[in-house]
Amino acid sequence: MYSIAIAFFLVIIVIPAIAGILVQLLTLPSLALSAPVLSRMSDAVSWSFIIGLIVSSLDILAGIPLAWLIVRKRGRWTTLLDSLADIPFVIPTVALGFSILEFWSSSSGISSIIGVGSLISPGSLLIMLLHFAFSYPVIVRVMVGEFLNYRETYEVAARTLGASAFTAVRTVTFPILRPGILAAFLLALARSLSETGATIVVAGAFENGTVFIKNARDAGITTAVVIASLVMIVLSLVIFALIKVISPRLKLGPMRVWPGFEKKLSTHSAENSRDFFSILVFVIFVLLPCLFIAFPAIEAVGGGTATEAIAGSGPWKAFWSSMLLSYGIAILATLVNIVSGLPVAVLIARNQLNSKVTKIVDALVDLPIIVPSLALGVSLNFFWGNMGALPEFWVIVLAHTTITYSYFVRAMSASIQGIPPELEESARTLGAMPLRIFRKITLPLTKYSLLSGAVLVFTRSVDETGATSAVAKTLKTAPVLLVDWIKGTVNVTAPERALGVGILVLTSFFALVILRLITLRGTKKG
């Protein structure tokens, strides 16, 4: 069973992600690019990494205080804050892009309050604001988990040894949680490097790596698409490997303490100010820009656009088809992920084969997260496109399976690792066969993670834009269609555009509600 799962993992997930682009590279008649295109490409790729690193650092600075607040000041209002922090996570990024564009750039957004035409025009700054907003919940989610699992006794011991609250957290808590902070940073960086759909919406004439690949592809400059994708993939892998390898070995040097200054930062008023600013940053830079999309959608419902939408007339026929396609693909990608990902999750969690194989599989599972999704899509397109007979629909399903694979396997392997091996060992000594142990012991105990992992895969698939636009030739999923609507490639009115995005947001919101309900049931049972 493990051999089949590993074969699937290598043949369907890993090889197409890399091989497609390599094959294409080798078959290109020439690798030469004109000087202007080469210059555009190097600028765009550099910007991707500059924006990614800046945004991830800012996310860490802003997200950690909010995660801290949620965990350390447990109450009804922090639970609400916890739920609100998830909102950008489930809104499809293309809708998020549109919302942020409207909030910061349009005359009806924040500019109208300040009294300027457009506060921030589409371009690099708006991309940063967008990436900040959608990476933020990743940081909060990871750090809330880290803080919940953290043994507070370290901090308590530090404080009784004379350290102020701020010193204790800075010199003890954060260094101990360094692997978690690093993981959160890398996830945020990966999200920023990967994102395509929403970035295109807010980029204007500016190009980062993924926008350049999209534009080059639209312009038919295949050589530029291949080289830029390859450069993005290689640079991403190198940067992630470097951060992962070097960071744990970095010695921070002797501990420095500024007792007077840090004592001031530990006072109640300083703490309250910090909490206030954390919430303010969250509301102004994340929550409001993300929810801004809801307002024009409400107007659209009142103005009769909703009736047209329900009737399916005009552009709505294509919209509903794309929604059906999106959800159909998401269901299939989720099912394929569950069937193929479960054995790999068990393999990683329980080191079922020899440890070298497990280590290799463990490292490769993160590949689809690390590689920018559009670059991944380009590779998948070349790979599956060269396979010939595979219908476009199935190519999209396979692309989504690849992109969402890490989420399911990681959620499940972490959950299985949490089960004491003694339970399975006891079952084995009582005469149960491996499959029965999995069905009767492992699966019931990880049911919650299986369901929430599946919902995560499902929502990520519905929201996916970059890779889909790379592999799809004629079919359009909902986010890809909405990119066309927002970019003006298709002739739609503003209320239609707002309602289309609103419907996608609403369906994603239901997914969030389902996720919360499952979480609640899981918690009650646990």
Partner 1 sequence: MPTVSFMNVSKSFDGVSALDRVTFDVDDGEYLCVLGPTGSGKTTLLRLIAGLLKPSTGTISFDDEPVNEMISQNRNAAYVPQQYALFPHLTVLENVAFGPLARGRPESEALSMAMKSLELVRLAGRPTAFPKELSGGMQQRVALARGLASGARLLLLDEPLGALDARLRLDLRHKLRQIVKETGLTAIHVTHDRDEAMSVADRIMILRRGRIQDYGNPKRVYDRPAGIFVANLIGGAAFLEGVVEATGGDSSTVRLREGVIVKTPSHLLTTNEPVIIGVRKERTRLADYNAENIIEGDVRETRFLGNSREYVVRLDNGDTMYSRQFQEGKNERFRIGDKVTVGFDRSDVLIFAYPPQGLGRELEIV
Nearer to partner 1 among residue 166 and residue 206 (C-beta): 166
Query: By C-beta, is 262 or 463 nearer to partner 1?
Result: 262
Helix orientation angle between 222-246 and 35-72, rounded to the nearest 10 degrees:
40
Q: Which of 259, 312 has the CB closer to partner 1?
A: 259
Question: What is the four-CA torsion angle of 41, 42, 48, 49, rounded to 10 degrees?
Answer: 160
C-alpha pair distances (Å), 162 with each of 153, 171, 271:
14, 12, 19
**CA 98/CA 292 separation, integer angstroms:** 9
CA distance 204 to 126: 9
Question: Which residue, 157 or 219, is less far from partner 1 as judged by CB?
Answer: 157
CB of 252 to partner 1, least distance (A): 8
CB of 143 to partner 1, least distance (A): 18
Nearer to partner 1, 146 or 496 (CB): 146
Residue 491 CB partners (closer than 8 Å, separation 6+)? 315
Q: Which amino acid is at 54?
A: I
Cβ distance to partner 1 smaller for residue 154 or 509: 154
- Closest CB to partner 1 among 36 and 254? 254
Give per-residue burial for 482-513: e unless 16+ CB within 10 Å, then b: bbbbbeeebebeebbbbbbbbbbbebbeebbe
Q: How far is the CB of 64 from partner 1 (least distance, A)?
A: 17
Q: How far is the CB of 162 from partner 1 (least distance, A)?
A: 4
CB of 80 to partner 1, least distance (A): 22
- DSSP letter string, 272-302: HHHHHHHHHHHIIIIIHHHHTTHHHHHHHHH
The minimum distance between CB 164 and partner 1, in angstroms, equals 6
Q: Which CB, 124 or 247, lies closer to partner 1?
A: 247
Amino acid at 98: F
Distance CA 482, CA 500 (A): 7
| Minimum CB distance to partner 1 smaller for 259 or for 421 | 259
> Which residues here bind partner 1, judged by CB under 8 A?
151, 153-154, 156-164, 167-168, 171-172, 175-176, 178, 254-255, 257-260
Closest distance to partner 1 from the beta carbon of 165 (Å): 8
CB of residue 76 vs partner 1: minimum separation in angstroms?
Answer: 15
CB closer to partner 1 out of 176 and 318: 176
Complex with partner 1: residue 155 or 362, whichever CB lies closer: 155
| 3-state SS, residue 43 | helix
Nearest approach, Cβ of residue 248 and partner 1 (Å): 10
Cβ 88 vs Cβ 290: under 8 Å: yes
260 CB contacts (<8 Å, ≥6 apart)? none
Taken in order 381, 387, 393, 399, the sign of the CA dihedral is negative
Burial code of 184-213, b = ≥16 C-beta within 10 A, e = fewer? bbbbbbbbbbbbbbbbbbbbbebbbbbbbb
Tell me the Ramachandran region of residue 431: left when phi exceeds 0, alpha when psi lies from -120 to 50, beta otherwise: left
Work out how close the CB of 263 gets to partner 1 at its nearest, in angstroms, rounded to a whole number: 8
Give the contacts of 363 (CB within 8 A, at least 6 positions apart). Answer: none
User: What token pair was written down for 1?
Assistant: 């069973």
| Cβ–Cβ under 8 Å, residues 161 and 259 | no
Q: How far is the CB of 154 from partner 1 (least distance, A)?
A: 5
User: Would you say 3 or 160 has its CB closer to partner 1?
Assistant: 160
- Side-chain half-sphere exposure of 24, counting CA atoms within 13 A: 26
The C-alpha angle with vertex 228 and arms to 227 and 229, in degrees rounded to 5, equals 90
What's the closest the beta carbon of residue 399 comes to partner 1, in angstroms?
Answer: 41
Nearest Cα neighbor of 11 from 377, 498, 383 is 383
- Cβ nearer to partner 1, comparing 162 with 421: 162
- Minimum gap (Å) between residue 254 Cβ and partner 1: 6
For residues 80 and 135, what is the distance between their CA atoms, to the nearest angstrom? 19
